[in-house]
Structure 1
Amino acid sequence: MNLMAQGKTRASSEEWRHVLPTNLGLFYGGEWHSPAAGRTLPVLNPANGDVLAHVALADREHVDRAVAAANSAFPAWAALSPLKRSEYVRGIAKRVREAGDELAMLDALDSGNPLKGMLLDIQMGSTIMEYFAGLSTEIKGSTIPMPGGVLNYVLREPLGVVARLVAFNHPLLFAIAKIAAPLIAGNTVVLKPSEHTPLSALRLAELVQDLLPPGVLNILNGDRAAGEALATHPGVASIAVVGSIATGRAVMRAGAETLKRVTLELGGKNALIGYPDADPAKVAAGCVKGMNFDWTAGQSCGSTSRVLVHESIYSEVIEAVSDLVGKIRLGQPTAIETEMGCLSSQAQFEKVTGYIEGAKRDGVQLVAGGGRGRGDLERGYFVEPTVFADVAPDHRIAREEIFGPVLSILKWSDEAALFEAVNSVPYGLTASVWTNDLSTAHRAAARIQAGYIWINGSSSHFLGAPFGGYKQSGLGREESIEELHEFTQLKNVNVTLSP
């Protein structure tokens, strides 16, 4: 089904049932398994509260079996030529592209993100897989000059079993993008999707179960207990997380006993800075794009949710942002014309609305939004795109990650105080700087404590450019050859040659 071509407007219960995965169990060792004692979890449609499915929950015994299957498959997978592993990964990408429309609809149903954004996720995720497949022959070592008769060389080798824990905001994009580098590097993988959005990962397992050797890719639905079991498991060599700072801390603590390799892509309270020479209309457009309202309802770690605008253009930017946000079409996630969907769960809804109501009580100026969905949206976790102005740098909505469609705008006049405010939070993932002066742009980029910075841009990612954070926004880099290297280890070999 070509949803874009058909102008699909929404999915009825009859229409969405055929995109659900047939298997709702646990996938490891190339086979499907039932949960112990019938442990299942209802998966809800956040747009209306309907139950989409009941999926199996993995317990520690299933984690043990999945890790054992991955370890059993590891030697043969690591021994394959890089080009052969590349062929397998390209095969996954091909099958995902072929099933792209149904996978996008499944994610729209499961996560509350708009269908148009989930179609983009399919394309992005498949492209990332193909990118890493193309890097398969770049897992290179080196030689070190030695005195006569001695050869010294360095090898890059895979780690073993990699556990990947991914978040709810981009279910399939994360599922496919985050397994690519470990697989290409020669590792086997145990993937745990979010318990809120597991359906597309299960469908992925169905699509590739006959493609990959058994045990190379294993997918376990699970709650926090399953994540802890993977993080503490002695058979897991590396654990990589996309999630909150709290989740990252918990995983690091759990993995400390076995000194696991840990990579973390965590949260952000990202700043967008508007200088006095910038075009107010362009700054406003950058604010709205940077918030990812129309992609994940602001549920994005890279969203520029904290805007600091110079006083000379402040009023113009506020007016333009308010106008742009007011035009965003809030609607059913499965409607192709919807520009912004809903939050992914009741917990997210209560968290976001709590921040909004708290800011209102504190007298922060509400410029746009602030309410919930109306009409046929009242049953779901819909929150209007919301903008607050004249926010104090020390207010909660200016310092804490809300992870929802709430934009805080601050005014600045002194550049030294600006950078103090920008760098005062424990996060450091992304930042956006708007100026027409090259010296100003480079000076700002140098002073901002963040790992990924746009100049006169926002939100976009570029394959090959390392994505990752400073401070508590994470460890390691992704979307580049650096991510591939995260899943390798170095071995030095020193050879004394016979005379």
Structure 2
Amino acid sequence: MTETTTITESITIIDPTDGSIVGSIEAATPEDAARAVDAARAAQGSWQILPAAERGDHLRKAAAALEAHGGELARLNHRETGRPVEEAAAGIASGAATLRQYAETGPLHCGQSLRGQHLATDYTVPEPRGVAALLTPWNDPVAVAAGLIGAALVTGNTVLHKPSERCPHLGRRLGEILGAVFPEGVLTTLDGGPDVGALLTAHPGIDVVAHVGSSATGRRIAHAATATGAHCILENGGKDALLVDAGVDGSWAAAQAALGAFANSGQICTSVERIYVHRAVAEVFERELVARARHLNANGRVAPLVDRRLREVVAAQVDHAVAAGARLGEGGRVPSGPGAHYPATVLLECTAEMEVMMEETFGPVAPVMVVEDFAEGLAAAAAGRYGLAATVLTADMRHAREAVSGLAVGTVKINSVFGGAPGGSAQPRGASGRGFGYGPRLLDEFTHVKVVHMGLPGSAEPWTAK
């Protein structure tokens, strides 16, 4: 079962759709965090020695519990973050599917047989790291949490989960639903903000920290890990580029750009956040992109941002770009009224030096810069400190291969802003993080590798000092 936390500091959530109060959640204290770590460490030994298939059975039960409460969780997600209920429900379904994926792949996670001396046996075995602290975001809160929880638990770790303080009611309810499936101390949810996360990442009893969120927080976690020795898995900020080559249909490219920039109001880790379009197709592309943004705004198809704090960041980037010479094609103005709404926005005539082309936005903003040829666009797309993902729209396979080679990012997508095989495991680079954040390779992140050499009695040559 989940641990019970002590009432201390209160976190109040405002519905970003209408400005009403969702409710308040009390955060965990340092004593709560310390007790949770102790309980997780006490439970880890017995959890580790369970057969992987039995741990997988627990994950299947967790997936079923998640589906049984999907409607409730989707409504909470909508109220706390503004995400439409149907999109939230899809994220919850994805989370359940991911738990089942790890229930199947966990028992298949194995070591290697090694070639050594005749009649000796040499092999490697993966072993759990121990106690895992998982710090998860608000933009797809159930799917991301389920992935990390599933991979950590099926490999024999115990888990302390701190959901985002921007959706604490959802996080607490998720913890109650999933925690009831596992033995005492195996999965504990701790409510709270950055202070609670800092308590966990600085605790010497934590063996691995997984964090999905901002690059600034990721840097602090990495710094704390140098003192504790914890292994870090970080999927952090991004400034994903979209490069539109000559020879593609401008209208189709604009549809891809609109999907990448405006889906979930631009609040996806791999949203399109900067666009480089070849001059040969720029006129059609820009006209169609503006039309699509205008249609979304006119029909109320853009959900609010998670809160007004984020809206201020997004609006400031847009305002600075306009002041520096960018032209508003659509949107770009904070609406009156309650909530945290912001329109789908297209910025034209952008330059590389603008903040909106360099720093993460995390809102429904599509900044466009026209380039003279593919080489210029590729160089611009490859620039910057982030290395999460990038997309290239091209009919030229040489250009596609040049992009794969030249973009220092974890994921390169050709001719599709979203998608990919379910078994993919990407490593972000630069300020975007480190380690495999999902897929089968995430199992490797949550385990150590032990090498075993087994010889026969009396068969080894005696060691002689020289």
Identify whether the pair has TM-score above 0.5, normalized to the shorter chain.
yes
Q: Is the partner of 2:351 in helix, strand or coil?
A: coil
- The answer to whether residue 331 in structure 2 is matched with residue 363 in structure 1 is no
CA apart distance, 1:30: 3.3
CA apart distance, 1:497: 0.9
Asked if the contact 1:66–1:218 (Cα under 8 Å) also holds between the matched residues in 2, the reply is yes
- Whole-Å separation in 1 of the counterparts to 2:188 and 2:54: 19
CA apart distance, 1:387: 0.7
CA apart distance, 1:311: 0.2
- The answer to whether residue 185 in structure 2 is matched with residue 181 in structure 1 is no
Instruction: Give every structure 1 segment of 4 or more consecutive aligned residues whose post-TM-superposition deviation is greater than 3 Å.
Output: none
1:211 is aligned with what amino acid?
V
How many matched pairs? 458
Aligned to 2:434: 475
- The answer to whether residue 339 in structure 2 is matched with residue 389 in structure 1 is no
Q: TM-score when scaled to structure 2?
A: 0.95
1:91 is aligned with what amino acid?
K
- The answer to whether residue 366 in structure 2 is matched with residue 407 in structure 1 is yes
Asked if the contact 2:5–2:28 (Cα under 8 Å) also holds between the matched residues in 1, the reply is no
Identity, in percent, stands at: 29
- Whole-Å separation in 1 of the counterparts to 2:284 and 2:98: 38
Alignment of 1:50-449 (within 5 A): 50-291=20-261, 293-295=262-264, 297-328=265-296, 339-373=301-335, 378-449=337-408
- Larger displacement relative to structure 2 (154-163 or 165-174): 165-174
- Whole-Å separation in 1 of the counterparts to 2:179 and 2:394: 50
- Larger displacement relative to structure 2 (50-59 or 75-84): 50-59
- Whole-Å separation in 2 of the counterparts to 1:197 and 1:136: 29
CA apart distance, 1:454: 1.0
Q: In the superposition, relative to structure 1, how do residues 394 and 286 fare at CA in structure 2: closer, same or farther (>3 Å)?
A: same
- The answer to whether residue 2 in structure 2 is matched with residue 30 in structure 1 is yes
Aligned to 1:464: 423
CA apart distance, 1:329: 5.2
- Larger displacement relative to structure 2 (234-243 or 123-132): 123-132
- Whole-Å separation in 2 of the counterparts to 1:330 and 1:62: 48
- Whole-Å separation in 2 of the counterparts to 1:443 and 1:420: 11
- Whole-Å separation in 2 of the counterparts to 1:403 and 1:461: 22
- Whole-Å separation in 2 of the counterparts to 1:200 and 1:177: 16
2:354 is aligned with what amino acid?
H
Q: Is the partner of 2:123 in helix, strand or coil?
A: strand
> Considering only aligned residues, what root-mean-square deviation do their CA atoms show, in Å?
1.6
- Cα deviations across residues 389-415 of structure 1 (Å, max 9, x unaligned)? 111112111111111111111111133
Q: In the superposition, relative to structure 1, how do residues 339 and 93 fare at CA in structure 2: closer, same or farther (>3 Å)?
A: farther
- The answer to whether residue 457 in structure 2 is matched with residue 489 in structure 1 is no
Asked if the contact 2:279–2:373 (Cα under 8 Å) also holds between the matched residues in 1, the reply is no
Q: Is the partner of 1:350 in helix, strand or coil?
A: helix
1:241 is aligned with what amino acid?
H
- Cα deviations across residues 206-250 of structure 1 (Å, max 9, x unaligned)? 223432101111001112111111111111000010011101001
- Whole-Å separation in 1 of the counterparts to 2:45 and 2:179: 19
- Whole-Å separation in 1 of the counterparts to 2:3 and 2:243: 51
- Cα deviations across residues 314-337 of structure 1 (Å, max 9, x unaligned)? 010001111111121588xxxxxx
Q: Is the partner of 1:403 in helix, strand or coil?
A: coil
- Whole-Å separation in 1 of the counterparts to 2:92 and 2:217: 26
Q: Is the partner of 2:431 in helix, strand or coil?
A: helix
- Whole-Å separation in 2 of the counterparts to 1:162 and 1:310: 46
**Unmatched tracts of structure 1, length 5 or more:** 1-28, 332-337
- Whole-Å separation in 2 of the counterparts to 1:351 and 1:406: 12
**Unmatched tracts of structure 2, length 5 or more:** 460-466
